[in-house]
Structure 1
Amino acid sequence: MGNAWLVVGLGNPGRSYAAHRHNAGYLVVEDLAGRAPVGFTHSLRLGADVAQTRLTASGDLGGVGDQAAKVVLMKSRTYMNDSGRAVERVAGYFGIKPESVVAVHDELDLDPGRIRLKFGGGDNGHNGLKSIRRHLGTGDFYRVRIGIGRPPGSQAPADYVLTGVPTAERESFDVDIARAGDAVLTLLSQGLEAAQNEFNS
């Protein structure tokens, strides 16, 4: 288990974006903060909302002592396309290397209900990942991808991701968010292979 982790929830700040599919990453880190439980502090200097907790060897948040790994949860206060700027600042402030960064984000090319974890690789057109890669100077960080599926009919992908989840789908979406939180904790406590074996679908 690493000494310190940065879990980045990708999304857009502000109430008007809060329930959008594109804010799945935000929702996961909020879920994790609630499990600790810890609150977020807004930092103008870092350009992010940040919460700190610790993870026990058994994968539980809210641990204490030097044997528990530090976990920093963050939501960028910049928009998705520029989220890497805040990630760079937060990682630098806490002394966290790119290989201990976990980016949690929505994924059009995965059906709803599916989760994928990986280390490195391409950005698949996701502007938040592109921004993180640009500001960290590497793509060698972890990704937890939450499937939201492709838009129906002829709806543009950009419009689809920036719409709220319909009421009929909200319960299953909330389950997906909680499972993605479980996947993050498994990754941090047991490693990538164990998390992939349990959650990749």
Structure 2
Amino acid sequence: MCEHIREFYGLPPFEDIERFKGEYTEGLIKGNPITLFRPLTYMNKSGEAVAPLVNYYKIDLQNVLVCYDDLDLPLGKIRFARSGGSGGHRGIESIIGQLGTKSFPRLRIGIGRPPEALAVKEYVLQSFWGDQLTIIEKVLDLAKDGVVCFLEKGITEAMNSYNGRIIEQ
């Protein structure tokens, strides 16, 4: 997601910030300042990267949008939320644990459940193929637009404008 936004808006390449176990870039999107940050930890330890960054810069959590893939949403659907639990997503569990709160906005990007013959771990680590690839490219465009809405108008407007939308083949 971060790379998609960075490329579309012509933001500078990502730079490593070893101190925060991640990489970032920053710039303006439609006149709004944005910092994109990607943890370089294992997904299950995302909080070890996110929390130190948020705490060091004293970032108001309402200005943090955590974007992640979600098995419990069908491929083609996105969902903004003001806060909430982890839904079993270990990366979100880590962020909640490290921040000590569930109160931060997030954007869930649906990838759907794997076919029965495929283990979840294999499914989430493989590349999209065929029709899935076409759908996910459109979903990333929709999500990108939703992130801009979040920047300009906040989480409530992003929820009202983008929740319920689904990209189908």
Establish whether TM, by shorter chain, passes 0.5.
yes
In the TM superposition, what is the alpha-carbon distance from 1:193 to its structure 2 partner?
Answer: 2.5
1:134 aligns with 2:97: yes
SS of the aligned residue for 1:88 comes to helix
Superimposed CA distance per residue, residues 29-48 of structure 1 (whole angstroms, 9 cap, x where no aligned partner): 11111214222111111211
SS of the aligned residue for 2:36 comes to strand
Specify the alignment match of 2:84 in structure 1.
121
Residue 16 of structure 2: which of 29, 38, 42 is its match?
Answer: 42
Specify the alignment match of 1:144 in structure 2.
107
Residue 151 of structure 2: which of 188, 191, 195 is its match?
Answer: 188
1:32 aligns with 2:5: yes
- Give the root-mean-square deviation of aligned CA atoms: 1.5
Distance in 2 of aligned mates of 1:99 and 1:43: 23
In the TM superposition, what is the alpha-carbon distance from 1:81 to its structure 2 partner?
Answer: 0.6
Moved more, 90-99 or 146-155: 90-99
Specify the alignment match of 1:24 in structure 2.
none
Specify the alignment match of 2:72 in structure 1.
109
Specify the alignment match of 2:167 in structure 1.
none
Q: Is residue 98–residue 138 contact of structure 1 (8 Å, CA) maintained in 2?
A: no
Specify the alignment match of 1:3 in structure 2.
none
Specify the alignment match of 1:75 in structure 2.
38
Q: Greater RCO between the two (CA within 8 Å, min separation 6)?
A: 1
Specify the alignment match of 1:51 in structure 2.
25
Residue 126 of structure 2: which of 163, 175, 196 is its match?
Answer: 163
Structure 2 unaligned runs (5+)? 165-169
TM-score, normalising length from structure 2? 0.89
Structure 1 unaligned runs (5+)? 1-27
In the TM superposition, what is the alpha-carbon distance from 1:54 to its structure 2 partner?
Answer: 3.0
Superimposed CA distance per residue, residues 33-73 of structure 1 (whole angstroms, 9 cap, x where no aligned partner): 12142221111112111111234xxxx2xx3xxxx4x3210
Moved more, 168-177 or 180-189: 168-177
Give percent identity, aligned residues only. Answer: 34
Deviating above 6 A after TM superposition, structure 1's stretches of 4 or more consecutive aligned residues are none
Q: How many corresponding residue pairs? A: 163
TM-score, normalising length from structure 1? 0.76
Moved more, 83-92 or 124-133: 83-92
Q: Is residue 11–residue 26 contact of structure 2 (8 Å, CA) maintained in 1?
A: no
